[in-house]
């Protein structure tokens, strides 16, 4: 149980284009989803937290107009990187949990999406 | 400020050589300490959640323990397939839902 999928697993795009990444919880309803970014040899950096039906909460320093997050249903969240540039190239990982902050709440991670911007 | 420090950064073991990974933390009102395993190019895989000092959990060759200041991930008789980066994270009462991650320990087990 607790399976989270991401699509696509990798994407290569030209500078200036937009890229959408999907995150789905396959066997549970995710009240909260999180988006992380990970650089080589580094730990995960939280970008934003999203609750179903609400606007995402972005971490300090993350441009909300560049990284658009939509959590339209209890099983789907999307991250759109708008007008991507080479510095946006990274490994993007989503996670999902059934509740927020309560005991028993665990974040389950997707397999990640490798974005390369040329 | 909530903080997590993992040590060592890297660990090389021979197959069968038991060892421990350390996760030291500072958090306001611990609401859970989490261990994950991450293989290269993949997302983290959940291993354990610990909530209170003295709690222990086991899974195959792994055993996680928790005190008020740190957690240990004990690996007994590791195999090459245990090679991965092990991440520790905490959730505090001031960070609703958020996890604060350590930098990870990269474990290599040689046959």
Per residue in B27-49, pLDDT (tens digit) is: 988 989 999 999 999 999 999 99
Q: Between A and B, how many residue pairs show a Cβ–Cβ distance under 8 A?
A: 57
Query: Among residues B57, B60, B61, which one has the least CA distance to residue B16?
Result: B61
Q: Read off the DSSP letter of residue A7.
A: E
Banded pLDDT at B94 (limits 50, 70, 90): confident
Stretch (H or E) spanning B94 = none
Decide if pLDDT at B4 tops 80. Answer: yes
Give the E-state strand segments of chain A in sequence order.
Answer: 4-7, 10-13, 19-25, 32-38, 44-51, 57-58, 67-73, 76-81, 90-97, 108-109, 113-117
pLDDT tier at A84, thresholds 50, 70, 90: very high
DSSP A14-29: -TT--EEEEEEESSS-
The reported pLDDT for the residue numbered A55 is 87
pLDDT tens digit sequence for A36-72: 999 988 899 999 999 888 889 999 999 999 999 998 8
Chain A residues close to B101, C-beta within 8 Å:
43-44
Q: Do A109 and B36 touch (CB under 8 A)?
A: yes
According to DSSP, the residues that pair with B72 across neighbouring strands are B22, B65
Q: Which of B1, B97, B101, B103 to mutate to test the interface with A (most CBs of A within 10 A)?
A: B97
Q: Is the dihedral of CA A40, A42, A46, A47 positive or negative?
A: negative
Name the residue of chain A whose CA is nearest to B95's CA: A101
- Write b or e for each residue in A24-39: b if 16 or more Cβ atoms lie within 10 A of its Cβ, otherwise e: bbeebebbbbbbbbbe
pLDDT band at A31 (very low <50, low <70, confident <90, very high): confident
The pLDDT value given to residue A103: 55
d(CA A40, CA A38): 7
CB contact (8 A) between residue A112 and residue B91? no
Q: Do B44 and A111 touch (CB under 8 A)?
A: no
The answer on pLDDT for B5 being more than 60 is: yes
Q: Does residue A100 register a pLDDT over 70? A: no
Chain B residue numbers with beta carbons less than 8 Å from the beta carbon of A107 are 34, 46, 99
């Amino acid at each position: 149980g607790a399976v989270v999928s991401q699509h696509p697993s990798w994407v290569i795009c030209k500078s200036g284009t937009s890229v959408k990444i999907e995150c789905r919880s396959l066997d549970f309803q995710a009240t909260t989803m999180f988006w992380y970014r990970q650089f080589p040899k580094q730990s995960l950096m939280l970008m934003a937290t999203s609750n179903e039906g609400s606007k995402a909460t972005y971490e300090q320093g993350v441009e909300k107009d560049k990284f658009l997050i939509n959590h339209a249903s209890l099983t789907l969240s999307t991250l759109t990187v708008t007008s991507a540039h080479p510095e946006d190239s990274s490994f993007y990982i989503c996670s999902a949990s059934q509740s927020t902050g309560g005991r028993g709440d665990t974040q389950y991670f997707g397999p990640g999406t490798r974005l390369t911007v040329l | 400020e909530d903080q997590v420090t993992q040590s060592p950064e890297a660990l090389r073991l021979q197959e069968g050589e038991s060892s421990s990974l350390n996760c030291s933390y500072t958090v306001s009102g611990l609401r859970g300490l989490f261990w994950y395993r991450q293989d290269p190019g993949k997302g983290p895989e959940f291993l354990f959640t610990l909530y209170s000092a003295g709690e222990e959990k086991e899974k195959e060759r792994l055993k996680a323990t928790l005190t008020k200041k740190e957690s240990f991930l004990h690996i007994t008789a590791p195999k090459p397939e245990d090679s991965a980066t092990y991440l520790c994270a905490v959730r505090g009462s001031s960070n609703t839902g958020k996890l604060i991650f350590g930098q990870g320990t990269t474990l290599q087990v040689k046959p």
